[in-house]
């Protein structure tokens, strides 16, 4: 099979018509107001609050800064239980708050942190749980809430992948004390760079807004050690236009995922991540697991073969965070403590998923994946 002429990436950003963006930027130019809670920012904040169906929302300049500020606002101390199977930003936000991550193993199906492993990891210094809705699949929020209540812990969700997801009609951003969303260009909804925190607690929302603006309360009062987490007007203007495109993009992505699922369903050794019951998906990633023993070809071989055909799949989240040099000496980072995560990270592959992919391209990508088995098996 011939390689694709152009690279097929794991995702492509939604791009509104350039003249629509130019018109919005015209309003920004006319106002002479480029950042620090301008009109675009305020409009996006209230539209996202409605879209995500959450009581309070604060915009940030990226998801990592938002998460770092969330942990600061909660005034956490000591140790925080988290997953090793996530993007580096998750445990790094803990380090920037002088908190020690305690890695707990993941569920073999959802790939989210396993509530039983959380419970086993709780110690005298534990102050919170930092869970990630991996690839947009919701964590077991009920079990996590029960554990947190029993041990007096705060709960923070990294919902970077879970924009617009719902569980039994519950908006994902209402779980826990606070949820973080990423609006990076690689996300379904994006502002080029951006992020948000959502919470049900008005006092926490006020704290987020203080911390993202250097801790400045008034012209002559600085009351907290804040940083610069503000979203600028250009990013907010882009976000307002992208938000109008999200519903159609989700439908297109659902159709593409259906093709992948149909093709992989009968194949022994390839498992497509399934949406859990009563769940509205964020349609963020098309993740598959490849069991090299059953399929006859390893994940890495398929990844390389896709690359040779100009398909740039991604091994999110390899390497495991617990293997980074700054974490590997933690007792919780030992391989024996994280057997499921170590297996999953060797099997995972995220395939291209974005609305502009044609069905023909998706079928060809499946052919390449399957062909790897035929040529080597």
Residue 96 CB, shortest distance to ligand T4K, in Å, is 12
Strand order in the sheet with 279-280: 170-171, 166-167, 279-280
Q: Which residues, numbered 126-165, are part of the site for ligand T4K (CB under 6 A)?
A: 132, 158, 160-161
Residue 89 CB, shortest distance to ligand T4K, in Å, is 4
Nearest-angstrom CA–CA distance, 164 and 289: 24
Query: Would you count residue 303 as binding ligand T4K (CB under 6 A)?
Result: no
- Among 84-92, 226-234, 252-260, 355-363, which window interacts with ligand T4K (CB under 6 A)? 84-92
In contact, 262 and 31? CB cutoff 8 Å = no
Provide the mask over 22-61, with x wherever binding to ligand T4K is found by CB under 6 A and - wherever it is not.
Answer: ----------------------------------------
Query: Would you count residue 63 as binding ligand T4K (CB under 6 A)?
Result: yes
CB contact set of 340 (below 8 Å; sequence gap of 6+): 105, 106, 107, 108, 114
- Among 48-56, 288-296, 310-318, 361-369, which window interacts with ligand T4K (CB under 6 A)? 310-318
Residue 54 CB, shortest distance to ligand T4K, in Å, is 18
CB contact set of 157 (below 8 Å; sequence gap of 6+): 130, 131, 132, 133, 139, 172, 175, 176, 178, 179, 180
Shortest-Cβ-distance residue relative to ligand T4K: 63
Instruction: List the one residue out of 298, 346, 368 whose CA is nearest residue 108.
Output: 346
Residue 30 CB, shortest distance to ligand T4K, in Å, is 28
Query: Would you count residue 315 as binding ligand T4K (CB under 6 A)?
Result: no
Which of residues 195 and 355 has its CB atom nearest to ligand T4K in the complex?
A: 195
Residue 12: exposure state from Cβ atoms within 10 A (0-12, 13-18, ≥19):
middle
Nearest-angstrom CA–CA distance, 341 and 111: 8
Residue 284 CB, shortest distance to ligand T4K, in Å, is 9
Tokens matching residue 175: 């779980």
Q: Which of 24, 44, 51, 62 is close enough to bind ligand T4K by CB under 6 A?
A: 62
CB contact set of 251 (below 8 Å; sequence gap of 6+): none
Size of residue set near ligand T4K by CB under 6 A: 24
Region label for 54, one of left (φ > 0), alpha (ψ between -120 and 50) or beta (otherwise): beta
Residue 331: exposure state from Cβ atoms within 10 A (0-12, 13-18, ≥19):
exposed
Strand order in the sheet with 270-272: 270-272, 286-290, 348-351
Instruction: List the one residue out of 13, 38, 133 whose CA is nearest residue 83.
Output: 133
Query: Would you count residue 185 as binding ligand T4K (CB under 6 A)?
Result: yes
Query: Would you count residue 316 as binding ligand T4K (CB under 6 A)?
Result: yes
Which of residues 11 and 40 has its CB atom nearest to ligand T4K in the complex?
A: 11
Nearest-angstrom CA–CA distance, 304 and 231: 38
Query: Would you count residue 355 as binding ligand T4K (CB under 6 A)?
Result: no
Query: Would you count residue 90 as binding ligand T4K (CB under 6 A)?
Result: yes
- Among 81-89, 164-172, 221-229, 300-308, which window interacts with ligand T4K (CB under 6 A)? 81-89
Three-state DSSP state, 16: coil
Query: Would you count residue 11 as binding ligand T4K (CB under 6 A)?
Result: yes
Name the DSSP class of 337: G
- Among 71-79, 210-218, 245-253, 311-319, which window interacts with ligand T4K (CB under 6 A)? 311-319
Which of residues 163 and 316 has its CB atom nearest to ligand T4K in the complex?
A: 316
Query: What residues line the site for ligand T4K (CB under 6 A)?
Result: 9-13, 62-64, 86-87, 89-90, 132, 158, 160-161, 182, 184-186, 195, 312, 314, 316
């Amino acid at each position: 099979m011939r390689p694709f002429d152009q690279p097929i990436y794991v995702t492509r950003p939604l791009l509104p018509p350039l003249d629509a963006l130019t018109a919005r930027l015209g309003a920004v130019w006319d106002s002479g107001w480029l950042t620090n809670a301008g009109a675009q920012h305020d409009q996006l904040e209230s539209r996202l609050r409605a879209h995500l169906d959450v009581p309070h929302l604060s915009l940030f300049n990226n998801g990592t800064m938002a998460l770092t500020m969330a942990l600061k606002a909660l005034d956490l101390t000591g140790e925080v239980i988290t997953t090793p199977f996530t993007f580096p930003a998750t445990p790094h936000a803990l380090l920037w708050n002088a908190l020690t991550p305690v890695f707990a193993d993941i569920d073999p199906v959802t790939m989210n942190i396993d509530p039983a492993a959380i419970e086993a990891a709780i110690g005298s210094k534990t102050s919170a749980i930092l869970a990630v809705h991996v690839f947009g699949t919701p964590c077991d929020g009920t079990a996590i809430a029960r554990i947190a209540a029993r041990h007096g812990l705060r709960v923070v969700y990294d919902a970077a992948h879970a924009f617009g997801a719902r569980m039994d009609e519950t908006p994902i951003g209402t779980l826990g004390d606070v949820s973080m969303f990423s609006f990076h260009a690689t996300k379904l909804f994006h502002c080029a760079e951006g992020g948000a925190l959502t919470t049900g607690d008005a006092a926490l929302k006020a704290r987020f807004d203080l911390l993202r603006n250097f801790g400045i309360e008034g012209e002559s009062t600085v009351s907290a050690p804040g940083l610069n987490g503000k979203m600028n007007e250009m990013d907010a203007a882009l976000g307002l236009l992208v938000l109008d495109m999200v519903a159609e993009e989700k439908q297109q992505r659902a159709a593409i995922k259906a093709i992948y699922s149909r093709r992989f369903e009968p194949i022994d050794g390839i498992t497509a991540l399934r949406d859990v019951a009563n769940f509205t998906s964020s349609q963020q990633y098309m993740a598959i697991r490849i069991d090299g023993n059953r399929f006859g070809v390893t994940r890495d071989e398929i990844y390389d073969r896709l690359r040779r055909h100009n398909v740039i799949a991604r091994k999110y989240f390899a390497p495991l965070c617990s293997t980074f040099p700054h974490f590997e000496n933690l007792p919780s980072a030992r391989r024996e403590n994280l057997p499921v995560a170590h297996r999953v990270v060797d099997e995972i592959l995220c395939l291209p998923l974005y609305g502009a992919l044609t069905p023909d391209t998706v079928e060809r990508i499946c052919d390449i994946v399957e062909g790897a088995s035929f040529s080597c098996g």
